[in-house]
Amino acid sequence: MNIFDFDGTIHRGDSSVAFYLYCLRKRPYIALLLPVQAAAALLYALRIIDVTSMKQTFYQYFRLIDAETMAERFWEYDKKNILSWYRDIHSDSDVLISASPEFMLKPVCRMLGIRTLIASKVDPRTGRYSGKNCSGQEKVRRFREAFPDTEPENSFYDRDSDLPLSRLARHGFRIVREKPVQEF
């Protein structure tokens, strides 16, 4: 079993930002929420609110669109940002674990043949979370909940916040200039 982060690892850049920009182009009226979203980003930067609260405020734009349908269309448009190295090593036992919303990643997982997805549970109609943002230690907790006695062979990640999850694997590969480089 190999475990993969998604944003910055398999996908070039942050897919939640790319999805938002795609939705903004298709439904420009969601820009009306920018002041509230910017305020939440500032409160997060000042450490007044946590990342889950900030993202939940950001995702309020889901109330103004059909986010599930938009996610299906988005991946047809954005599949060009899936890094080619992943397609070369894909396996049926791959596990994708991401902070991005689960409903948003389901279409790309189908496209890539990824059967196991662990991601943030965000309501596509409201933007509200059920549970915590799936990042850092939460990734470890959620992985252990799904696979209590499993030691993954390889882990692929792009940032230090993914190290707790990556350390569960025998080998860790950091993505550097869009290519995996073994670190341990």
Give residue-wise pLDDT tens across range 135-175. 999 999 999 999 999 999 999 999 999 999 999 999 999 99
Residue numbers of the domain that contains 69: 1-184
pTM of the model: 0.94
The 3-class SS string of 76-108 reads HHHHHHECHHHHHHCCCCCEEEEEEEHHHHHHH
Domain count, the chain: 1
CB atoms within 10 A of CB 97: 24
Q: Where are the beta strands (DSSP E) in 41-170?
A: 95-101, 116-120, 154-157
pLDDT at residue number 1: 97
User: CB-based contacts of 123: which residues, under 8 Å, 6+ apart?
Assistant: 62, 129, 130
CATH assignment at residue 50: 3.40.50.1000
Running DSSP on this structure, what letter comes out for residue 159?
Answer: S
Phi, psi of 7 (to 5 degrees): -70, 125
Q: What span, in angstroms and rounded, lies between the C-alpha atoms of 32 and 5?
A: 32
**What are the tens digits of pLDDT across the range 76-96?**
999 999 999 999 999 999 999
